[in-house]
Amino acid sequence: MESLPGFNGFLWASQFLSAVIASERCFCVVSPFHAKRLLKTSTMAAIIVVTSAVVVAGMFTIVGLKHTIVSVFDPATNVTEYIVYVTDTLSKLY
């Protein structure tokens, strides 16, 4: 349960992909000849794969270790709440 906040990395990677596609389309409309020369498919694929991997891995390694999820059950209202709080990374490693 501790590493579940790391899945937000996929959300961030998806948003990054949308931003890259939108900016590429704008660049192709504004300057089609420069875009054809500068934006190759293999280059864009490499940029997308590398940055998405860095974002997802960073979210799993940093966010997964820094956040702790605790479930709190209130018997009076019969409600379970999940609380996410930031902890010290070193305390989880030792």
* pTM higher than the cut 0.75: no
Domain limits, the chain: 5-65
Q: How far is the CA of 47 from the CAs of 10, 39, 59, in angstroms?
A: 16, 11, 18
Write the pLDDT tens digit of every residue in 20-52: 889 888 988 998 888 888 888 888 889 889 999
What pLDDT shows up at residue 22? 92
CA distance 43 to 53: 15
Alpha carbons within 13 A on the beta-carbon side of 33: 0
